[in-house]
Chain A
Amino acid sequence: MTTQVLNSRVNKTMNKTKLSFLILLLVGLVAPFAIYPVFLMKLLCFALFACAFNLMLGYGGLLSFGHAAFLATGGYITGHTIMQWGLTPELGVLAGTLCSAGMGFIFGKLAIRRQGIYFAMITLALSQLVFFLYVQTPFTGGENGLQGIPRGELFGLFSLEGNLPMYYFVLAVFVIGFAVIYRTIHSPFGQILKAIRENEPRAVSLGYDVDKFKLVAFVISAALAGLAGSTKSLVFQLASLTDAHWHMSGEVILMTLLGGVGTIFGPIVGAATVVTLQNYLSQGPLASWVPVILGLIFVICVLLFRSGIVGEIQKFMKKNFN
């Protein structure tokens, strides 16, 4: 009886999420006719990046301070394979994603040897190592980065040079990435991940190989962050050191925190807010204050609303409409 009630409730929230997702998808399909597509593409790339990050922090309780490394790796590999090997865009993106996944495996193997704050410091140090490697190795183009990456033709057939076809490609990539995250969270795997987040010793005592679960979550998250970076490098036709800098790792944390850690839509809302804010401020007189404003938002989020925008809305809805 109780399980039935529980099941119907779970189904209800699942349906609600699916409905919200459908509405979002429709908005996504018509948006480029109202808003500048390049801005929307930037937003989608960062939203995917933040969703990938949220999989680890929100559902695994693992704070990675090194996700910039995956974003940058995706971008550099995609740029390199397309420019030097002449790959088509979808293969270039695939290559970037796979390399980020591989790097995620290495990062994960090392970082999950320690927990909590150490985990954050190790991922940060490793990503700084990657940053220095990218500064020195010639294939990244050093300070200049890889410029003029051609968007090319999808499957060798459809040109992505125009902003509208490119936009729908990015939207498709985002939907696929988001679906992977959604499926991961709502699978037995995701449930165990949450159990580890809530009480690691108990998960161990139940017989789960905790490290293996953390590692798989890390690899999925890194792969999707790489996917976001790869797609971003196609959109802007540029892969640069900015993506590898630790500021970027901080930004993705901010996006997730602001939107709502551990909520499905939170990172999207957070990424949209931060990207919009950056775009808006960078043209005005406050341009040089952007890092300070981001820092202020960080402090306010941590002190006053740790559940983030979506988390607070959910709390409010539960309080008043349940």
Chain B
Amino acid sequence: MAELLGFPPQVLFGQLLIGLINGSFYALLSLGLAIIFGLLNIINFAHGAQYMLGAFVAWLGLKFLGVNYWVSLILAPVVVAAIGIAIEKTMLRRLYKEDHLYGLLLTFGLALIIEGSFIHFFGVSGQPFSAPELLQGGNNLGFMFLPTYRAWIIVASLIICFGTWYMIERTKLGAYLRAGTENPQLLQAFGINVPLLITLTYGYGVALAAFAGVLAAPIYSVSPVMGSNLLIVVFAVVVIGGMGSIFGAIVTGLLMGLIEGLTKVFYPEASTTVIFLVMIIVLLIRPAGLFGKEA
């Protein structure tokens, strides 16, 4: 097996692995966006900033309080979710009766505030964050070298993604959430506390972003601008998948990561743009998105 499609297998599998890792982040982030959009009808533009916050909480925790990675993995999402819940309770809540575009604009303003403040205090250059000892090193699989931390990212995000899918599609709480997405008034009439459900949903979506941020901290450097450019790609992923289904968001995220990885092998110049090009093709062929329902 000297060559595969004209490329050494190490290169091909290496890029596919990177693609799969990027895809894990796309999946986690687009999943959070889809859950929030489902119930709140808001596109959370602060999602990138909240992803960045997750990474920074882990970094600050390690640097100043000595909180280790494993604790941060739980703690950072909780902290960021608490901030998100405060935002929902004090600001987003006032906008549900207005045009949904105002939710987008409000969260965009919040993203500018969060990102701008962090740039002021930490600069745009990245801060190093090392992976925990348990996850350092790697294994040689024969056809490629697999760093343990990268394998962990894929496993962890898959567990969280499918756990979330299970919770929404198979549990009582998830049934409430789906009912709220369909018809919040009716759900309220059945005695469910819908405003609380909305708050918790926003908190959970934000927590997913923060979790992705902590996962990303050791492989991408922790920087205030790490979220905003990623978020625009995730928006394209969301348009491609359509926000109709939870499963669709996860699959599209992983798929787009793989496509991006393959592009890096065959035509590196297009690797930054390929997802946007896929979005254009999908819009031309199936405007509602791969998993979206036709209006």
Contact = CB atoms under 8 A, between A and B. Distances in A.
Interface residues on B, range: 35 or more
Interface stretch (A40-48, A129-137, A228-236): A129-137
B105 A292 contact: no
Given A117-B100, A125-B232, A250-B108, A303 B91 contact: yes
Contacts of A276: none
Given A125-B236, A257-B105, A303-B106, 8 more contacts: A121-B238, A246-B228, A289-B116, A292-B112, A299-B91, A302-B102, A302-B106, A306-B102
B277 A129 contact: yes
Contact of B273 (A117, A132, A246, A301): A132
B104 A120 contact: yes
Interface residues on A, range: 35 or more
B52 to A, nearest CB: 14
26 contacts: A113-B283, A117-B100, A117-B104, A121-B235, A121-B239, A122-B239, A125-B233, A125-B239, A126-B276, A132-B273, A136-B269, A290-B116, A291-B119, A292-B112, A292-B113, A292-B116, A295-B111, A296-B109, A296-B113, A298-B108, A301-B109, A302-B105, A303-B91, A303-B95, A306-B98, A306-B102
A290 to B, nearest CB: 8
Contacts of B283: 110, 113-114, 122
A63 B112 contact: no
Interface string A286-320: 00111110111111011100100000000000000
B284 A110 contact: yes
Contacts of B176: none
A63 B108 contact: no
A189 interface: no
B226 to A, nearest CB: 15
A116 interface: yes
Nearest to A120: B104
Interface of A: 63, 110, 113-114, 116-118, 120-122, 124-126, 128-129, 132-133, 136, 246, 250, 253, 257, 288-292, 294-299, 301-303, 306
Contacts of A306: 98, 102
Nearest to B113: A295
B68 interface: no
A125 B235 contact: yes
Given A114-B287, A288-B120, A303-B91, A63 B104 contact: yes
A122 B109 contact: no
A125 B281 CA distance: 13
A197 to B, nearest CB: 10
Contacts of B284: 110
Contact of A114 (B104, B232, B239): B239
B74 interface: no
B49 to A, nearest CB: 10
Q: Which of B109, B110, B276, B280 has the most CB of A within 10 A?
A: B109
A306 B99 CA distance: 11
B144 interface: no
